[in-house]
Amino acid sequence: MRMKRFFLVSGFWFLVCIGACLLATSGDLLCKSKVNHPTRPLIQAGSGNLLPSPGFVDGLKGWNAWGDASIVEMDGEKVLRFGPQKDADAARIRVYIPHPKGGVLYRLRFQVKIMGGENEGPPFDPPTLTGWLCHNVEGKSPIGSAKFVENRRGADWLQREVRLLVHPDVKALYILADFKAKRAQALTRRWEVVREPADEADGRVILDTPIGSFAQMPRAPQPDPPAEVVLWPVPNPGELRPWSMPESADLGKPVVLAGAPGEMCVATVGLFTPSDLRSVKLIFSPAVMVGVQLASKPRWRQIVFHPRRTDYYCRGMTFDYVPDFTVNRPDGVTCRAGEATGLWINLRLADGAKPGTYRASMRVTGEGVEREYPVRIRVYPFRLKDLTDKVRSLYSDSGRWKKMSEEQVLAEIVDIRDHGIESTHLSCSGSLTVEDSTVTGFALASESRRLIRLSMKGGLKGPFLFWGGWLPETLADKLAIARKVLSECADTWPDELGSAMTQSLIHVKKAIAEEGIADPVLVLVDEPGYWKKGSPERMLWDVKTAKQAGWLTYCTSSYLPSDPIGLGLDIHCYGGWKLIFDPAQAKHMAEETRKAGQTLWYYATGSYSGQIGNMVRNRYLAGFLFFRTEARGAASWTFQRPRVNAFDDFVMSERSNRPYQTQPCITYPDPDHPGENLDTLHWEGLRQAWYDHRYAYTLREAIMAVRARDAAAADRVEKRLRKLLDGLAWNGDAFLWPEMDNAKLDETRRAIAEMIADLGDS
């Protein structure tokens, strides 16, 4: 029988186990990171629906509506319909929740389905319903408004919900929503706003931080805890929590690792104990290391659960404890009674590993425990092909490398390459020589030369991207042009500055070529847009000077080449949301970009909102979805750019007096080992994405090889592959679909592997 169950009858277990840095098993590291914000129990009474005219019994009484927003009857129920835009006006609504209470967690829930719009026509964005649960405080702007975005289309009702912990001095609480579409309509029903009930038995807390209070998200119901020490495979590591319990069907299951020769295989296991255990380790049987032919000894690491904001922008003032990073515990881990400990396993198959399924085991040992569990290792009878038509790039934050030894930098670059990344951003800093207003020379800084050399030695192949944004200010100083001139739009800058910029870029390119990079790429202004004052003019200036100097160009412009700030680019890197929501839109963008002679890249992966503490988001967006698009490159932002403290999401910016937008880190600096990194699930997600992509690419190549001798067989397998990939969401936000998880991607990869093996047999 499934039931919601929590341990230690008092909710104070949470204050003890988590409030003081959560699991003591990771206490050393967490104490050094100083993430010790106080907690208090989240206890509040629930409520009924607080919206006026619930169920629209009185129509839109108490609601404000504009545009084509109205109540219609459907299936015996009143439904709020958002119609298509008329001219520039979108259908929208606003409704206030009467008498809001300060310091309370509210939940908005409703159902929606978006229908029509299949022929919206380019250029277009998918029909999208966007809204917020907002609050106001008299005299100041409070942090937080819970946002929802719905752009999935179909005939079924889909449920959405968001939460908002309101400010203690809240004066107004309200919903805003609008619908943007040319032809589609959004139907919504069963809107409700409630004070979410929470009692002591739920074990939830409020985290009080320098940037405000954050309410913990609800916990998923769990089965009853086992009566003994158990270890179970966890196919969706992003869902693992300290309170996770195994399903009865998971008990006794072997840990399965599968891969092609040379592949890094990974698995996650949960370990539950009803009593405290110390010095717990995983020991693999010799058969794992001998019979299977491994490239190196299997490794295990402990997963550290850590408090992270639920979204990038603190919108709902909510947080959760997520499986954030892994740490090496050579002396073993301490497992607390009544809790789950997460363990991360990886092993690399040897390049010459023989195909087959190998039975092995691993032992859980420690003070008070000795258990053995089955392991199955499958080596596929083929090698994965290298990708020849796609590039993965990383914002590597190479400025950090200045403080690292050559051995540390090279180790990091090798690790980056081992995650399938070939391209990165490097520095072109150096010194300019200017004589009589003419740039006559440039010398790369020794550090820039060192990083170029190490990047190539570590196996990166390019394209190598260089930011030259520092040049205009340097040139202005040398040409005696006042700095305030540069604060104006670039189309007003003096001609002599443009000429000097072109001259500088010629010399910079020559210096980089002398280090072995013949075709460097210049990074232009970041995310230009008409909403961003001065950026369109700056981009056009950048393009002009770069082209005159013979550079290839890269820009994160999300405008098509038909727009002035989508022109003049060699690598056109669009915001991923332009491609990942709708295949028709992605196809149109690919066609337009190709017609303009540009190379299509996109950026959507790395350490963005929702990607921390799970594998699935980076894995899908940079893996099977990348394979399905016509994009030639995918960029991930950003490797390691911590703000004050990489482990603390709740940091205030002293300059803006606003919260930082979380911690932009794909990996974290290891506080115990300066110059080394802590691996994360989202970092591993990028490596597994690379493998997923190679599996699909290997099958496609195998189909092409078979077609020459058996076209019918090739057609059958190609149809199976298409159906398999069509089973992965490409309709709005993929991760709102409940079936889109890491287990689904594992299942898809296994099916592809079987098809490759079958073609090989044939």
- Model confidence over 618-676: pLDDT tens digits? 999 999 999 999 999 999 999 999 999 999 999 998 888 888 888 999 999 999 999 99
β partners of residue 669: 677
Q: Which of 237, 233, 225, 240 is nearest to 272 (CA)?
A: 225
Over 50: is that where the pLDDT of 13 sits?
Answer: no
Pairing of strands 633-637, 668-669: unpaired
DSSP for 479-547 reads TT--GGGGGS-GGGS-HHHHHHHHHHHHHHHHHHHHTT-SS-EEE-SSS--TTSTTHHHHHHHHHHHHH
Residues 6+ apart with CB under 8 A from 405: 675
**Whether 306 contacts 22, CB under 8 Å:** yes
Distance separating alpha carbons of residues 372 and 732, to the nearest angstrom: 44
Q: Which of 220, 245, 236 is nearest to 320 (CA)?
A: 220
Over 80: is that where the pLDDT of 737 sits?
Answer: yes
**Whether 207 contacts 216, CB under 8 Å:** yes
Over 60: is that where the pLDDT of 717 sits?
Answer: yes
Could you give the C-alpha distances from 133 to 106, 530, 555, in angstroms and in order? 9, 27, 34
pLDDT digits (tens, 9 = 90+) for 364-387: 999 989 999 999 999 999 999 999
The overall average pLDDT reported for the chain is: 92
Give 725: exposed, middle or buried? Use CB within 10 Å, 0-12, 13-18, 19+: middle
Q: How confident is the model at residue 32 (pLDDT cuts 50, 70, 90)?
A: very low
**Token pair 């967690």 is at which residue?**
105
Over 80: is that where the pLDDT of 181 sits?
Answer: yes
- pLDDT for 314 equals 77
Q: How many residues are present in the chain? A: 762
Dihedral class, residue 420 (left if φ above 0, else alpha if ψ from -120 to 50, else beta): left
265 backbone dihedrals φ, ψ, rounded to 5°: -95, 140
- pLDDT for 9 equals 33
pLDDT digits (tens, 9 = 90+) for 288-316: 555 678 888 899 999 999 999 998 787 89
- pLDDT for 223 equals 96
pLDDT digits (tens, 9 = 90+) for 259-296: 999 999 999 999 999 999 999 999 998 755 556 788 88
**Token pair 């959760």 is at which residue?**
320
Q: Which of 248, 183, 234 is nearest to 340 (CA)?
A: 234
pLDDT digits (tens, 9 = 90+) for 448-476: 999 999 999 999 999 999 999 999 999 99
- pLDDT for 287 equals 57
- pLDDT for 760 equals 83
- At position 319, the amino acid (one-letter code) is F
pLDDT digits (tens, 9 = 90+) for 479-511: 999 999 999 999 999 999 999 999 999 999 999
Residues 6+ apart with CB under 8 A from 103: 165, 166, 167, 168, 213
DSSP state of 735: G
DSSP state of 496: H
Q: How confident is the model at residue 121 (pLDDT cuts 50, 70, 90)?
A: low
Kindly report whether the peptide bond that precedes residue 123 is cis, defined as omega within 30 degrees of 0: yes
Write down the pTM of the prediction.
Answer: 0.95
**Whether 614 contacts 682, CB under 8 Å:** yes
Instruction: Enter the tokens of residue 504.
Output: 């500088």
Q: Which of 696, 536, 723 is nearest to 625 (CA)?
A: 696
Q: Which of 71, 73, 64 is nearest to 174 (CA)?
A: 64
- pLDDT for 293 equals 84
